[in-house]
């Protein structure tokens, strides 16, 4: 009988995936609520559609101001880099495929969020916020997901897999089914 790829019973794997989906939905609700609140401002700037213009303006604030402004755009959606693959529940997935799916999904979520946010009073469309959101998701994915998947593939014990026993290295004769002959 062949295993399913990582330890635990199917019910336990289902619970992990369910927990990932619940956390994903909770995170998206929290980010949506925070991003779509109306801001009270005496005036609102026009939409920022020139790529990297806002980032250049943030860098002109100095190191602490730039770190704060850029970090505020990178961090809100960064947990999606971990939560989206967790909700999918695949341990033996292609690293590049997983990264591509996660970044594309995060880009679409961020784009929808930016478009809806532009209709809220005091909020404007910002292309650089979209780019920084997707960058945060990609960085979180690259920092966490490959290491966790490798550990789960090893069995979660943190060590190397056990070496093969002598019988498994050299299987000997091929097993046959009685009363079944070799074809001519």
Q: Mean of the pLDDT values across residues 33-60?
A: 78
Q: What's the pTM value of the predicted model, to 2 decimals?
A: 0.74
DSSP 72: H
Q: Average of pLDDT values for 46-58?
A: 80
- Of 67-76, 88-97, 132-141, 154-163, the least confident: 154-163
Q: What pLDDT is recorded for position 2?
A: 42
First-to-final CA distance of the chain: 31
What is the arithmetic mean of pLDDT over 56-74?
Answer: 88
- Residue 27's pLDDT band, with cuts at 50, 70 and 90, is very high
> Rounded mean pLDDT of 68-78?
91
Please determine, for residue 110, whether its predicted confidence score (pLDDT) is greater than 80: yes
Average pLDDT over residues 125-136: 91
Rounded CA-CA distance 157/161 in Å is: 9
* pLDDT tier, 97 (very low <50, low <70, confident <90, very high otherwise): very high
pLDDT of 164 reads 47
Instruction: Give the DSSP letter of residue 125.
Output: -
Tokens of 153: 């593939």
* Mean pLDDT of the chain, nearest integer: 81
Q: What percent of the chain has pLDDT over 70?
A: 77
Is the pLDDT reported for residue 1 higher than 60?
no
**SS3 of residue 23 by DSSP:** helix
Determine contact, residues 77/129, Cβ cutoff 8 Å.
Answer: no
On the question of pLDDT at 111 being above 70, the answer is yes
pLDDT for 161 beyond 80? no
């Amino acid at each position: 009988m062949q295993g399913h790829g990582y330890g635990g019973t199917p019910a336990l794997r289902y619970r992990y995936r369910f927990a990932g989906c619940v956390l994903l939905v909770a995170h998206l609700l929290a980010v949506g609520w925070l991003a779509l609140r109306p801001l009270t401002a005496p005036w609102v700037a026009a939409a920022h559609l020139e790529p990297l213009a806002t980032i250049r303006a943030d860098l002109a604030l100095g190191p602490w101001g730039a770190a704060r402004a850029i970090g505020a755009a990178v961090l809100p959606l960064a947990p999606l880099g971990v939560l989206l693959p967790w909700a999918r529940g695949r341990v033996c997935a292609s690293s590049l495929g997983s990264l591509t799916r996660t970044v594309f999904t995060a880009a679409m979520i961020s784009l929808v969020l930016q478009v809806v946010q532009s209709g809220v009073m005091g909020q404007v469309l910002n292309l650089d916020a979209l780019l920084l959101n997707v960058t945060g998701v990609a960085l979180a994915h690259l920092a966490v997901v490959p290491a966790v998947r490798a550990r789960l593939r090893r069995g979660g014990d943190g060590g190397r897999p056990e070496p093969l026993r002598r019988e498994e290295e050299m299987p000997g004769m091929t097993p046959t089914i009685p009363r079944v002959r070799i074809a001519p």
